Structure formats: C-alpha cells, structure tokens
Amino acid sequence: MQELLTAPLTACISTHLGVAPALVAKLYAPPAKGLPGDIAVPCFQLAKAKNVAPPLLAAQLADVVNSAGIGAHAAAAGPFLNITLDATSVALALLPLLAADPRVALRSRVGAGRVVCVDFSSPNIAKHMAFHHIRSTMIGNALALCYDAAGWKVVRINFLGDWGTAFGRLIAGWKREGLGMADLEAAPNKVTFLNQLYVRISRLEKEDPTVEGEARQWSRRCEEGDAEALALWETIRTVSVAACQEIYRVLGVTFDDWSGESRYRDAAGPIVAELKQKGLLKEDQGAQVVDLSSLGMKKPCLILRSDGGSLYATRDLAACDDRHARYHFARSLYEVDLGQSLHFKEWFAVAKLLGRPYADSLRHVGHGIVLMWNDETSTWEKTATRKGIPMMLMDILAEAIERARAVVADKNPEIVGEERERIAAAVGVGAVVFNDLKNSRTGDVKFKFEEALRFDGETGPYLQFSHARLCSIERKFPATHPHPPAADPGLLTLDSEKSVLLAIARLVPALERVAESDEPSALAQAVLSLATTVASWLTAGNHDEDLRVLCPDPAKASARLALVRAARGVLGEGLRLLGLQAPERM
C-alpha cells in the first residue's frame, strides 16, 4: 500500500539521478516532528553517490519533484527533502482498494506459501494455568495470526508438559492416599484436587524418604507402559486438558496439533543411537552428553540421565524431527520464556551437529516475566504465588471481565443481558491481552489491574472503543445519502483524513516486521497509532459540522463514510490479528 503512494516519487527521483529505484525507496523516513511533510528523504547517501553537497542535491530534487506533477509537493530543508502528498492523491490511490476489502491493509505475501510451526502456550498438566502463561499463549497466538496474514502456512502446536518424574510422584501420592475416581469426580475443581495432592506428596517426600522410591517406581512403570500407571496418567491428562480448553475458549485460542512430551517418550532411542553412531555422545559423570565446545559453548548438552532416562532436550529433538517430517517447516518458533534460552541454544546446537537441514530455521522466541504490583511493599513482584497459592490465569480473566462489565453497564445501560456479557468478556479479556502485547516481548510485563483495566490511554479497550465509535457513525448514516461505492475519494481533502489513510498504509510494514522479528508489539503500536489518528479526525468535527462525517454535503459525507468503513474494517482486522475481539458497540 505504501508503494502505491511512493511509487511515482521513487520513479521521479531515481530516473532523474539515474540510480536504482530501490536505493531511493529505502531512504524514506517520517519527517521530524513539527516540520511539514509526510515523507522525508535524507539526501546524504544520494549526494555522496553523485558527488555533490547534500543541501544542493535536496534543493535540486525539490525542483524536480515539484515540476513532475505527481500529486506531491517537495521542500528542501538543508540536506533533507520533505515531501507533502496531496490528500486527494492519497485518497484516490488507497480508498478504492480499501473499499473493496479493508483487510488488504493487513495482508502481505512475504511468507509465500512457506510453512511455519508455532509452538506456544505449552502448559504442564496437573497444574492450573498460571497468570504468566498468558504471555506464551497470547504472543504465540498473535504470531500465528500475523504469520498467516503475511502469507505463511501456519501450524499451531500446543506441546504439553505431560511426561516426566512429576507424574510418578503424583501417582505415588494417589496410591498412598488410596484415592479413586470417585474422589476426583467429587472434587469441585479437579485440577485443584490434583494440584493439592501434588503439594501434599511433595511435602511428605521431604520427611519420608520411601516416597521418593515409590515415585521413581511409578515413573518407571509409566515409561514401561504399565496399564495401571498409564490409566491414571491418562485420567490426569484428560482432566487437565479439559481445564485448559476452557481457558482457550475464553481467550479465543485454538491449536492444530495437541502434541506433548508423552508422544516422544520412546523416541529417545533413535536419537541416542544416531548420536552414538556419529561419535557425538560421550559419558560425563555417569550421564550421556554432547560436547558443544566446537560451537563455542562451554557446557555440554545433557541427553541421558545416569539412570538411562531421557531428558527434555532429547524429547525436544525427537519432536522437532517429527515436526519437520510432518510439516516440512521453513521456520519453527518456540514461544517460551527467556529463562530457558540456554536450553534452546543447547539443543539447537545439537541439531546442528547432527547435520539437521532445519537447524538454522529454529527460533527461540523468548519473552520476559510478569510482575505484579504489591501495594504493601510498594514493589513489583513475580507472580509466582499469592499466599502460597499460584495466581491463576482464569481468576485474573474473571476479575477483568467483572470490572469491564461494571464499566459497560455504567456507560451504556441500554446494553443488557447476553450482549452485555459478550461485550464484558471481549473488553475485559482484551484489556489483559493487549497489556501483554503492546510492549516489546523481551521486556518484563508489569501488571496492575487499575492500569490494564483502565479504559483510557494506550489500552485494548481504547482500541475497541475507537472501533465501536466508527461503527456507531456508520449506523447513523442516513439511508437517503449516497452510500459507497458511489463515493468520490477526491472529496477527501482534509489533512486529518489523509493522516488516517497514511496511518493505515503503515500497517503492512508493521505486519511484515512481526513476521520477521517475531515481535507482535510492532503491530500493536501501529494499530494504536491508527486509533489515535482516527480519534483526532473524528473529534475535530465536534465544533464544526462541516468537518463531521455526517456533514450537510451528501457527496462529501459519502466519501467520508467510505473512509469510516475502511478505518473500521482495518481496525477490526488489526484487533483480530492481535487476538482481541472488536465489538460493534460497548
């Protein structure tokens, strides 16, 4: 979309100077604040190539552009060339496209049919999804949606932590306490039931050394395929998955592949055999490891425990082979917190030593932790526990929805019943999700209910409000007026209207950046910027009815309605790609 606006300019400058168009196009930048113009061209590099002084070249180019008749006005400011596009030429270039389908503003072909695997959320079973799981879940979800919009074929994978020594311990506790299915069925919350069982048996293990042996024994029975052990494990898994599904339903997240470590419990063998055959495996303190010093890493990667059991690096390798065989991915993302970067660095390195063709396409997409404000100590604290109880994601979402419901009821009492509930959920969840996506993912997220749930400022509800406001104007547009596509884009002559279109045109670069650097905040920021531009445009009409969308001149009103529709459609699509809903009123 941006190219549509700059193509004539690029052609004009590049033919005049006799340089490649791409050389010119990559120079475009936003002009400095306060200076007039829509596009700035710093002339240093071009001047060097042509061996003239930058200010001289800028002045020359200004003349060339101004006499070219390409719907743009240029002014030199020292070594910079500032371009102001005509509002009508912007509208004529973009509005017809947007009218046909606003989603063009958020589509790209950079993915070109390649496959990307996105591994995200990946909770451990038999535990509640804690608040911090929101990060992997919603960053991963946004990445999956954005890669899709950028032309990639996306495989969404939920790799459950459903295998390992913890389950041996859990089953040992289950047997020791003589529990049965009826006890689990009777529990008000089955995951809480399992979680508490785990806490009890872990505590007991510290006092009673026989527990450890029992746990290891049940672990082994699981690995060996013992029917009783596997039946219990299966029950635990089913119960946990159901609880996760409920959260994903609230968040609007889906997966293509519900995998898990258990699927690769027997897959360690072939990997170990291959490592051995290639001479990469060696024994170290009783364990089997791969030395990574040839790749500049001091510590080796652990492959097998001294008791012969597999480790998670081994299972990750096996799972990765499997994914590559099944999906032929060109890129594979692991949306897991930054604390595990060493683990990923290690097994990526092993994949490289094994000569895997995909080794360089693996990416650990890490994120920072979630901190919560503590009123008593006036500090930011990790959200691990509150009074020893894990802070549950579902509780946070429920409180957010409740707070949103109160605001909706207050601001818009005529919205009632099922619609109010739907909107409260969209707004409450949207507030929490956007709080997580708006800043760079590698930083820590600071969460405060009062901040995330405020409905002014840079928040999810602000974006949703902006969308609802545009919908409201559409609803009020008189049926007697000419409706688009009869609208004439040439009637959009205001700078504020041009600004909206330019903000829309900046979304594709933002989307492409998301799919390149795995950074959803790039889109979040661009959508935010669109919303503020829209708000500024609309509010200007408060005191001047000629500036309103619903202005006295029907032809002008029609053109503006086309812009309202475009902006609403784009905003709605932007919200969708971030994993937020966009209610039509709120």
Partner RNA sequence: GCGCUCGUAGCUCAGCUGGAUAGAGCGCUGCCCUCCGAAGGCAGAGGUCAGAGGUUCGAAUCCUCUCGAGCGCGCCA
Q: Is the Cβ of residue 187 or residue 494 nearer to RNA in the bound state?
A: 494
CA dist 135 and 368 (Å) reads 8
Ramachandran category for residue 378: left, alpha or beta (phi over 0 → left; psi -120 to 50 → alpha): left
User: What is the SS3 assignment for 69?
Assistant: coil
**Of 370 and 392, CB closest to RNA:** 370
Q: Which two tokens stand for residue 468?
A: 């609802």
Q: 3-state DSSP call for residue 39?
A: strand
Q: Which is nearer to RNA, 187 or 415 (CB)?
A: 415
**Percent helix, strand, coil in the chain (nearest 5)?**
60, 15, 30
- In the complex, minimum distance from the CB of residue 182 to RNA, in angstroms, rounded to a whole number: 30
Strand order across the beta sheet in which 39-42 lies: 39-42, 80-85, 72-77
Cβ atoms of 467 and 576 within 8 Å: the answer is no
Residue (of 150, 85, 139, 213) closest to 499 by Cα position: 85
At its nearest, how many Å lie between RNA and the CB of residue 529? 8
CB of 62 to RNA, least distance (A): 12
From the number of C-beta atoms within 10 Å of its C-beta (0-12, 13-18, 19+), residue 207 rates as exposed
The first and second tokens of residue 472, run together, are 């409201």
Amino acid at 18: G
Query: What are all long-range contacts of 303-308, with beta carbons under 8 Å and residues at least 24 apart?
Result: 303/268, 303/271, 303/272, 303/275, 303/350, 304/268, 304/272
Taking the complex as a whole, the smallest distance from the CB of residue 282 to RNA amounts, in Å, to: 9
Please answer whether residues 310 and 301 qualify as being in contact, where contact means their C-beta atoms are separated by less than 8 angstroms: no
Among residues 360, 374, 453, the alpha carbon closest in space to that of 406 is found at 453
Looking at the chain, the number of H-run helices and the number of E-run strands are: 22, 16
| Dihedral pair phi/psi, residue 442, rounded to 5° | -75, -20
Q: How many whole angstroms from its chain centre is CA 113?
A: 20
How far, in Å, are 145, 148, 313, 361 from residue 116 at the CA level? 11, 9, 21, 10
State in angstroms the smallest separation of the CB of 124 from RNA.
6
Crossing angle of the two packed helices 133-149 and 227-251, in degrees rounded to 10: 70
Whole-angstrom CA distances from 535 to 128, 394, 499, 531, 581 are: 40, 33, 11, 6, 19
Inter-CA distances, 222 with 164, 168, 194, 225, 317, Å: 9, 8, 18, 5, 21
CA distance 351 to 347: 6
The amino acid at 472? S
Q: Burial letters for 504-539: b for 16+ Cβ neighbours within 10 Å, e otherwise? A: bbbbbebbbbbbeebbbbbbbbbbbebbebbeebbe
Kindly give the residue spans of alpha helices, DSSP state H, lying in 339-438: 341-353, 393-411, 417-437
Cβ closer to RNA: 387 or 475?
475
Rounded to a whole number of angstroms, the minimum distance from the CB of residue 178 to RNA is 26
- Amino acid in the structure at residue 487: A
Q: How far is the CB of 334 from RNA (least distance, A)?
A: 12
Residue 14 Cβ, how far from RNA at the closest point, in Å?
A: 17
Residue (350 or 427) nearer to RNA, CB: 427
Rounded to whole angstroms, the Cα distance separating 558 from 481 reads 7
